[in-house]
Each structure stands twice: as C-alpha cells, then as structure tokens.
Amino acid sequence: MRITNFSRSIALQQRAHQLIPAGAHTYSKADDQFPELSPGFIVRGKGAYVWDLDGNQYIDWGMGLRSVILGHAYEPVLSMVREQLELGSNFTRPSPIEVELAEILVDTIPSAQMVKYAKNGSDVTAAAVRLARAYTGRKYIAICREHPFFSFYDWFIGSTPVDAGIPEEIKQLTLKFSYNNIASLEELFDSYPGQIAAVIMEPVQAAPPRENFLQRVRQLCDQNGTVMILDEMITGFRMDIQGAQKLFNVKPDLATFGKAIANGFSLAVLAGKREIMELGGIHHDKPKVFLLSATNGAETHALAAGIATINELKKNDVPLYIAGIGQKLIDGINDIAASMNLSQYIRAYGYPCSPVLEFKDQEGNASLPFRTLFLQETIAGGVLMPYIAVSYAHGECELSATLAAVEKALIVYKKSLSDGLNKYLTGRPVKPVFRKYN
C-alpha cells in the first residue's frame, strides 16, 4: 500500500515555520532536505521503525542523523537512563558517573588519555580547535575540503557558502586541503610555515585512505608542530568500537566523538593527549584554556546512555553486525539497479557501516532532483532513507522490505529517465544545506 496521507504533517509544518526558523533545529531535518510528499514530523520510533504524525510507519535508515546505532528506544539503554533519571540529572558538583564513563572511554579509544564532555559534536570540534590554537600559539586551521561538516561555529561555517554573519578575518584563518592528496597539505604547510595550529579531518568517508595518507598527515603534523585532530563523529563506535583510528592505525593528538556514542542521547566527547587536554585543567601554570564549560555538559542520564550504549556495542560486536547488513544492502541495491539496466544512474558504495547512494540524471551528472524522486518513491513504499545509517535493529526482514521498496522506486526512476522527471516528481527537489541563498 502506497503512503499518501501527510495532511497532519503539512498543517503542523505551517505552524513550525512561523515559530522556528527553518521549522527545525537541525538543517538536515528541514523540509528543504525532503520531498514534498514526505513525513514532516516523526512522533515515535521503536527499533528500526518510526511513525509520523499521520500514523504512517517507515523503516528508518536515517536513525536520528546517524546517532541511533542500536535502534530507537533500545531497552537496555533506556533502563539505565531511567535508573539515572530517578537519581537526578544535574548537580552542583560533578557526579561519579562522569569519572565512570571517562574510564571506559580512555580504555576504549587508543588516543584518549583524557576526555571532556559536551552535548554536540560542534562543541567538541570547536573546543579541539581552541585547544590546538592555545597549545601551539598559532591561528590557522587546515580542514579537509571533502568533509562536509565539522561544526556550526564560525571557524568552520565561515568556510562554507553559508557564511553570513561571519567576519572576513575569521574566514581567512581556515585553510583547505584535499583528502588522499598529501601534496595539497604539504602546500599549505609551505605557504603558512609555523602558522598552522591544527589539521582537522574525518579519518575516512566512502573512499579508503590511499598510500598511507593518514600516516603521512600524522608525519606532516609532527614535522610542523601541528595538532592532528580526527573527527570521529560518524566513524566512532560505528566503524570500529575503538574508532577508525584503531582500524587505520593512526594516533591523532585530539579526537572527537558523538552520534553513535549514546544511541540518540545528547553526548559528545573530546578525547586526547594529556599534554594538550591538561591546558583546560586547573593545576598548571600556563595560560588556562576555557575548554568546555556548560550547565548541562555532563547531564547524568546522557552519560548513563553513553555507558549503556558502549556496553551493548561491545557485548554484541555491533560494528561487525552492521557491516554485514550494510554490505547486503549495498549488494541488494546494486543488483536491483543492474537487473533494471540502471547501474549507470544509481549506485550504492562505501564502507558497509555507512553506505552511500549516488543518483545520476540522463546526462550522467549527480542529480538532486533524481535523489528527490528516489526519496519520494521509497517514502511512499514505507522506507525513510535520506542517507544510510545501519543499526543493530536492522535485520533481514527490514532488508528485504527495503529492497522491495527500492525496486518499486527504481521502476519510477527508470520511467522518469525517459519520460521526464516532472511527470513523476511532486513539488520542488531537495536543496543543498550549504547554500548562500534560499
């Protein structure tokens, strides 16, 4: 049965846009990222499923912007959170649970000697940058241009097209190099000798590091006295419990984690070398770094969620499990595309824990309108797949239902390649998040 009723969502969307800029608190959740025929609001989730405001049920592959790695409302996490909630969520002095989680993280993450908590990934990447600047006494930051998002703060957003409100002086401090192109980073070090405080990048996205790229970045950072920061917001606890840094055998000076670490509860972690992290401490005689200091930074039930999630990830070897499901999904989608002679237009690829989908138009160009059509048609078939975050709750049943919905969607995709998109796509296509004007 095709899902067609979004009437309650549409009514609430009007109200949301009057009350909330963009109608959402994360741009990637906003209406412009989804087709017009899509659920405007999610009311609840359980396991791999979510229900929208109109009562429609979906298999969810977005999983709360990749944060929900075990499944929605996962009981072992909820029960530890409930226990903690009964004890109170915020106190006038630290709670012992802060130390308990810190011990687990330092034991788990190879590069972690000390940790500091926050509520968002943006906060910990920004803290890493400030720490690196204080440690080195330098101002420039080198970021990897292929990696789309590190933080909503000025040092990063100033480097995107959505740079309104950010002074030129700040923008000039962020430099760019390319992944798997060590010469591009060498050039930056040559052009700004002794001036680059930090290199920040994700360890890996869909394409693997080539020719020891990560080790060579490490080496360049060492040679230039620059802090190497790995942003493991997506890879951490998903690609490997110990992070991509373990898998690729590279030791950053600082690393950032979030998303999967607490199964959808608000927790992000800055982890790193004692020598650098200690600058944020209160027992040294160097200038003190105001590292992270927030009223709700160590909300106890979020830390309980972190402990419970890491326990479950380890106990069930979740990274291994999700890689298995992810590989079947990649193969399944590519097989369907091949059987319909659509391989040149639709492709699933990347690491199985984070598969990526590519959509092309008749000319072979990457196409947001065709991506939108695919989303529209899979949503109609009860699958919400704006991107793919495989979780422990996705099993064979969800896999086969998803592939059935993909097959139906591709029939429409194929027709629109020949008959034109307008005949099949309702409303406007999705837009890039990072755009200067709406």
Ligand X SMILES: Cc1ncc(COP(=O)(O)O)c(C=O)c1O
Which residues contact ligand X by CB under 6 A? 120-122, 125, 149-150, 202, 231, 233-234, 258, 268
CB of 146 to ligand X, least distance (A): 11
Question: Which is nearer to ligand X, 144 or 277 (by Cβ)?
Answer: 144
CB of 95 to ligand X, least distance (A): 22
Question: Which is nearer to ligand X, 23 or 382 (by Cβ)?
Answer: 23
CB of 197 to ligand X, least distance (A): 18
Question: Which is nearer to ligand X, 3 or 233 (by Cβ)?
Answer: 233
Q: Is 256 in contact with 124 (CB distance < 8 Å)?
A: yes
Q: How many CA atoms lie within 13 A of 103 on its CB side?
A: 6
CB of 123 to ligand X, least distance (A): 7
Coil, helix or strand at residue 274:
helix
Q: Is 202 in contact with 180 (CB distance < 8 Å)?
A: no
How would you label 165-199 residue by residue, b for 16+ Cβ within 10 Å and e otherwise? ebeeeeeebbbebebeebeebeebbeebeebbbbb
Q: Is 245 in contact with 110 (CB distance < 8 Å)?
A: yes
Strand order in the sheet with 140-144: 114-118, 268-272, 254-257, 227-231, 196-201, 140-144, 174-177
Instruction: Give me the residue whose beta carbon is nearest to ligand X.
Output: 121
Question: Which is nearer to ligand X, 202 or 312 (by Cβ)?
Answer: 202
Coil, helix or strand at residue 434:
coil
The two most distant CA atoms of the chain are separated, in Å, by 71
Question: Which is nearer to ligand X, 116 or 370 (by Cβ)?
Answer: 116
CB of 239 to ligand X, least distance (A): 12
Question: Which is nearer to ligand X, 144 or 241 (by Cβ)?
Answer: 144
- Please give the structure tokens belonging to residue 271: 């982890």
Question: Which is nearer to ligand X, 37 or 200 (by Cβ)?
Answer: 200
Bridge partners for 141 per DSSP? 174, 198
DSSP secondary structure, 34-47, as one string: S-SSS-S-EEEEEB
Question: Which is nearer to ligand X, 84 or 256 (by Cβ)?
Answer: 256
CB of 423 to ligand X, least distance (A): 35
CB of 125 to ligand X, least distance (A): 5
CB of 428 to ligand X, least distance (A): 24
Give one word for 156, left, alpha or beta, with left for phi > 0 and alpha for psi -120 to 50.
Answer: alpha
